Structure 1
Amino acid sequence: MIKGLILVLSLFVSSVAFSTEEKNEIPDDKDVHTQFGTCHQEFLPANFNLFVWNIKKAEARDSWARDFEFFVPKSDIVLIQEGMIDSYMPKVLERQKNFCWDFVTSFIEKDGDQTGVVSGSYAGPMMVHFLRSPGREPVIKTPKMVLVSEYALANSTETLWVANIHGLNFVTDRLNREQIEQVAQFLKKHQGPLIFAGDFNSWNKNRLTYLNEILGRLQMHKLAFANDNRRFKLDHIYVRGLEPVSTKLHNDIDSSDHKPLSAVFRLK
């Protein structure tokens, strides 16, 4: 536990150093959402693949792009945290044939680059909605974002809601919990199948406990992964109304400091 606190403190100090050099801008609501690519499918298949990854702003560049372009064609839905609108990443997104992407910006850096979460699919979403965290990261004063997308499902009258989260990190547990409660309150509106996945920044036992508690109220459960030897379990997939066929934690991928998660689902 002490080692974990030391790590969190060191990351916080790094964020303070970063804030002395950068002045970040929070975009107006009308400027948060950006779209890339073109998809032509109206429905997700009854059996579909999900891929979830915090990509660390694609800092590894070409090695990240190779990994990314390996997984995207195998996936029906892709959820990315720490995505970027810069001179590099949108070009990689647009190379993915028949995929469309929705990007919501958390903040704009001094050089004009934007960071946020991005969700992509072969099927065009029926609805896209973003939630800006009620709390802010200390010192740099930036929010975190959640992107909720609605998809039609083949052979079903129900629709699927998919929430893609980057959770507040260097804050009290209370502020992190408020963000989770905010999303849960929005997801309560939907009666059909749900997926809530991404980087929850759940680096202590308390955060993991209330995450399970809050999402349990929505009848959502967390997927388990074999060989899960992650020191900090920050990234998760929660689901309701779908049957998991398989799950995988991709321990062999090193182009980010987060390991990707994938799962195959079918309708119950």
Structure 2
Amino acid sequence: MKILVQNLQKRDNLATELFEEHDPDLMLLQEINIHSETHSFPASNVSSIGYGTAIGSKFEAVTDIKYIQSPYAEFGGVIHKKTTIATVNTVQFVSFHGYNGQPFKKKHKLVAHIEAVLAELIPTGPAVFAGDFNTWSKEHLKAVKVKLESVGFHLAYSWPYPGRDDPLDHAFLRGMELQSSKNYECASDHRGAILELRLVNGTS
């Protein structure tokens, strides 16, 4: 299974362009501008003006769709980061855009966002938890890893953010094997990732 993970920076029609360029089986998208896209996305958790997260699938039906927002608001107590969850071919997928956990913020608020998402997942079975975790803090990322590892995930891939030594974007897997990975540049300020995955002891 070929997975594309991308923060789109609200760029017009960028998800559609990346779908046509890279031909992924599934897309996990953050900061989508849903009203600008010509490609349809069956699961999208967006604001009234169309910004948020989405999951798109090329072949399989998308089921068990759930929409989560971060328990804590940011930017003046108004904005809650949005997360989309869906199941495709028995695998749970999470398109995650994390609470803004920069060092001036409290890491427990980012961890609380992770916990809110995990509460909606089936606690066992294959899953992909990927996206923009919104922090360069090693301390915050360590706390995220501890929480996700406690329920069977492992950090499979992190990819660079332009001009920074530490990444914002990560992919955690459970019951899935990473066969190959690469990252690419596009019109967004984030690089995107393409992951080739297969079920543990299973098929791609």
What residue in structure 2 maps to residue 181 of structure 1? 115
Higher-Rg member (1/2): 1
In structure 2, the residue matched to 1:54 is 7
Structure 2 match to 1:231 = 165
Distance 1:210-1:227 versus aligned 2 partners, 3 A rule: closer
Checking the alignment, whether the CA contact within 8 Å between 1:197 and 1:235 is kept in structure 2 is yes
| In structure 1, C-alpha distance between the alignment counterparts of 2:154 and 2:198, rounded to whole Å | 15
The amino acid of 1:183's aligned partner reads: V
CA contact (8 A) 2:53 2:97 kept: yes
Contact 1:198 1:237 in 2 (8 A): yes
Distance in 2, matches of 1:143 and 1:160, equals: 26
- Give the alignment partner of residue 82 of structure 1, picking from 19, 24, 31: 31
Aligned AA for 1:265? L
Instruction: Find out whether 1:119 has 2:55 as its counterpart.
Output: yes
State the Cα distance separating 1:51 from its structure 2 match. 0.4
1:102 alignment partner AA: A
1:158-169 correspondence to structure 2 within 5 Å? 159-169=90-100
Report the structure, 1 or 2, having the larger helix content.
1
Q: CA deviation at 1:186?
A: 2.6
Query: Relative to structure 1, is the Cα distance of residues 104 and 162 closer, same or farther in structure 2, using a 3 angstrom cutoff?
Result: same
Counterpart-to-counterpart distance in 1, 2:7 and 2:128: 17
Q: Could you say what secondary structure the match of 1:186 adopts?
A: coil
Q: Deviations over 1:25-70 (max 9, x none)?
A: xxxxxxxxxxxxxxxxxxxxxxx11100001001xx4777544420
Distance change (3 Å), C-alpha of 1:256 and 1:140: farther
2:111 is aligned with 1:172:
no
How far does residue 228 in structure 1 lie from its aligned partner after superposition? 8.2
Contact 2:158–2:170 (8 Å) recurs in 1: no
| Alpha-carbon distance in structure 1 between the residues aligned to 2:151 and 2:27 | 23
SS state at 1:126 partner: strand
Q: Which whole-Å CA distance do the structure 2 matches of 1:64 and 1:129 have between them?
A: 21
Q: In structure 2, do the counterparts of structure 1 residues 140 and 226 end up closer, same or farther at CA, with 3 Å as the change threshold?
A: closer
- Amino acid paired to 1:127: D
CA pair 175-219 structure 1, distance change in 2 beyond 3 A: same
**C-alpha distance in 2 between matches for 1:228 and 1:136:** 24
Q: Secondary structure at the match of 2:88?
A: strand
CA contact (8 A) 1:49 1:77 kept: yes
Counting aligned pairs with the same residue, the percent is: 27
CA contact (8 A) 1:164 1:198 kept: yes
In 1, are the aligned partners of 2:158 and 2:169 still within 8 Å (CA)?
A: no
Letter in 1 for 2:97: H
Contact 1:225/1:247 (<8 A) preserved:
no
TM-score (norm 1): 0.66
- Paired residue secondary structure (1:182): helix
Name the CA distance, whole Å, in 2 between partners of 1:222 and 1:240: 9
Give the conservation status (yes or no) of the 8 Å contact 1:225–1:249: no
Answering whether residue 39 of structure 2 is matched by residue 101 of structure 1, we say no
Deviation at 1:172, TM superposition (A): 2.4
Classify 1:206/1:225 alpha carbon distance in 2 versus 1 (closer, same or farther; 3 Å): closer
Give TM-score, length-normalised by structure 2. 0.86
Task: Name whichever structure is richer in strand by fraction.
Answer: 2
Q: How far is 1:101 from its partner?
A: 2.7
Give me the whole-angstrom Cα distance separating, in 2, the residues matched to 1:115 and 1:62: 12
4+ long deviations beyond 2 Å: 61-69, 184-187, 224-232
Determine which of 241, 244, 255 is the counterpart of 2:187: 255
CA distance in 1, matches of 2:160, 2:152: 26
Structure 1 residue 85, shift from structure 2 partner = 3.0
> Which one of 189, 193, 198 corresponds to residue 266 of structure 1?
198
